[in-house]
Amino acid sequence: NAGVMQNPRHLVRRRGQEARLRCSPMKGHSHVYWYRQLPEEGLKFMVYLQKENIIDESGMPKERFSAEFPKEGPSILRIQQVVRGDSAAYFCASSPASGDRLRYEQFFGPGTRLTVL
Amino acid sequence: AQTVTQSQPEMSVQEAETVTLSCTYDTSENNYYLFWYKQPPSRQMILVIRQEAYKQQNATENRFSVNFQKAAKSFSLKISDSQLGDTAMYFCAFMPRPGSSNTGKLIFGQGTTLQVKP
């Protein structure tokens, strides 16, 4: 059973460009969480999605950032008009669909390191 | 607001010795989970150990154990017989029990960088 997959692993963008980060959850997982890690800091929650629904986006900046988790395909975190402050590692985690004991298990992907020039 | 504090930015330990990493948290919730994650230089987040707040018994996983003090809101990690491969950043994390008002998001501390010396 493959783990959580993220691509690309490294992404370089110039200021003003768009960044698209992809996350494929573990097989059978329908809950996806996105976290951002700024240099020398801990991970900060951004958004929580289930298939075709955004459940909690309280940690996501109101402008330029969006996320989706379509019925088919990976979850996408999209950053429009990137700025240098967006440079960070972005981690995706997935968890199973049902059961409280299962829901608290989050399995992390390897992250995407975004560098904005 | 729920917060997690790790007051030790950096620590070091000699190989084969024991080290304890500190973590405190603040919450008004009664049901929650606590975790320690390891982030080696590869940056992959690896779950080390977890504790359910309603369980009084401290969790253990091989060389890793926790000291969970619910009243003091303290959750320290003890690593016994430290190995070179334990060198990593360690994050303490808190999760309110998922439910109608809690979405299961993890709240992380700032991290402690642990260096195991040969």
Residues of A in contact with B106 (CB under 8 A): 33, 35, 43, 45, 93, 106
Question: A-chain residues within 8 Å CB-CB of B104?
Answer: 31, 33, 48, 95, 103-104, 106
How much is the pLDDT for A98? Answer: 60
φ, ψ for residue B3, nearest 5 deg: -135, 155
Within 10 Å of residue B19's Cβ, how many Cβ atoms?
20
Q: Identify the burial level of B84 via C-beta atoms within 10 angstroms of its C-beta, where 0-12 means exposed, 13-18 middle and 19 or more buried.
A: exposed
Decide if A56 touches B, using CB distance below 8 A: yes
> Residue A38, Cα to own-chain centre: how many angstroms?
14
CA distance A77 to A85: 16
pLDDT at A97: 66
Residues B21 and B84: their CA atoms lie apart, in Å, by 16
pLDDT at residue B96, as a whole number: 85
- Short-list A21, A25, A73, CA closest to A52: A73
Amino acid in the structure at residue B118: P
- Strand A112-116 vs strand B10-14: parallel, antiparallel, or unpaired? unpaired
Helix, coil or strand: residue A85: helix
pLDDT tens by residue, A21-53: 999 999 888 899 999 999 878 899 999 999 889
**Mean pLDDT of all residues in chain A?**
91
User: How many residues would you count in chain B?
Assistant: 118
Q: Is the pLDDT of residue B100 over 70?
A: no
d(CA B39, CA A28): 25
Q: Tell me the C-alpha distance between A5 and B92, whole Å.
A: 23
Residue B95 corresponds to which tokens in the numbers above? 């999760």
Partner-chain residue, chosen from A42, A59, A105, that has the shortest CB–CB distance to B109: A42
Averaged pLDDT, A92-113: 80
What local confidence, expressed as pLDDT, does residue B106 receive? 92
> Between chains, do A110 and B111 touch, taking CB under 8 Å as contact?
no
* Chain B interface, best mutation among A30, A43, A57, by max B CB count within 10 A: A43
DSSP letter, residue B86: G
Indicate yes or no: CB of A104 within 8 angstroms of CB of B98.
yes
Residues ≥6 apart with Cβ < 8 Å to A72: none
Query: Region B24-30: what's the mean pLDDT?
Result: 91
Instruction: Determine how β-strand B10-14 pairs with β-strand B112-117.
Output: parallel
> What span, in angstroms and rounded, lies between the C-alpha atoms of B86 and A72?
38
Do residues A6 and A108 lie in contact, with contact meaning Cβ atoms separated by under 8 Å?
A: no
Q: Rounded CA gap, A13 and A111, in Å? A: 16
Contact B110 A41 (CB under 8 A): yes
